[in-house]
Structure 1
Amino acid sequence: MNVDEVKSILLQHLSLDEVYVTLYEDNYQIVAIGHVFYDMNELERHKIIYAPLMKYILNNEIHAISIQAFNPEEWNEKRRLCSISSSC
């Protein structure tokens, strides 16, 4: 499974504003931004991302996932901080 397929699955099943997917060895790194993440803790956000990918995880098409999920305000703040810091 390639990064475009993972991104497409997430966009088809979730109301997200933006999704970035990269692959490093066998670990998919997902950054998801959406209004759906307001008032959710990190575990709830991860469950939202895992749900449409679960069948691919169970049949070993996806081996490992790293998730960062933000609501739009958090994402804008992260981008602002990254623009003034080299730690991102």
Structure 2
Amino acid sequence: MMNPEQVQALLEAGIEGAQVSVQGGGSRFDIAVVAEAFDGLSRVRRQQLVYGCINASIADGTIHAVTIQTYTPAEWDKAQRMGLA
């Protein structure tokens, strides 16, 4: 089993400069990542970057299910202004 802080640490280590929020516990997590690294990338490619950081934990069954939201800093600011984040 993992806690949100452990998942957050994996993502912050794997995506340079990322701001990460993780909710949940056990083997199910809701993940939000804000990073410049997502600029210009498709939604699929962004999720691939996130999965790349946690794949070992998914493969060994430590993480069973995730919901992922990804934003560039500009998208995050806009989502907050619109009350979506």
Q: TM-score, normalised on structure 2?
A: 0.91
- Mark the runs of 5 or more structure 1 residues left unpaired by the alignment: none
- Mark the runs of 5 or more structure 2 residues left unpaired by the alignment: none
Q: Which residue of 2 aligns with 1:53?
A: 54
Separation in 2 of the partners of 1:62 and 1:25? 8
Map residues 63-82 of structure 1 onto 2, 5 A cutoff.
63-82=64-83
Q: Which residue of 1 aligns with 2:43?
A: 42
Count how many residue pairs are aligned between Structure 1 and Structure 2. 84
Separation in 1 of the partners of 2:69 and 2:44? 11
Moved over 2 A (4+): 24-27
Separation in 2 of the partners of 1:26 and 1:61? 6
Structure of higher CA gyration radius: 1
Q: Relative to 1, partners in 2 of residues 1:69 and 1:2: Cα closer, same or farther, differing over 3 Å?
A: same
What amino acid does structure 2 have at the position aligned with 1:8? A
Q: Deviations over 1:42-88 (max 9, x none)?
A: 10000000001001001000000100000000000000000xxxx65
Identical columns (%):
24
Q: Which residue of 2 aligns with 1:10?
A: 11
Separation in 2 of the partners of 1:34 and 1:52? 14
Q: TM-score, normalised on structure 1?
A: 0.88
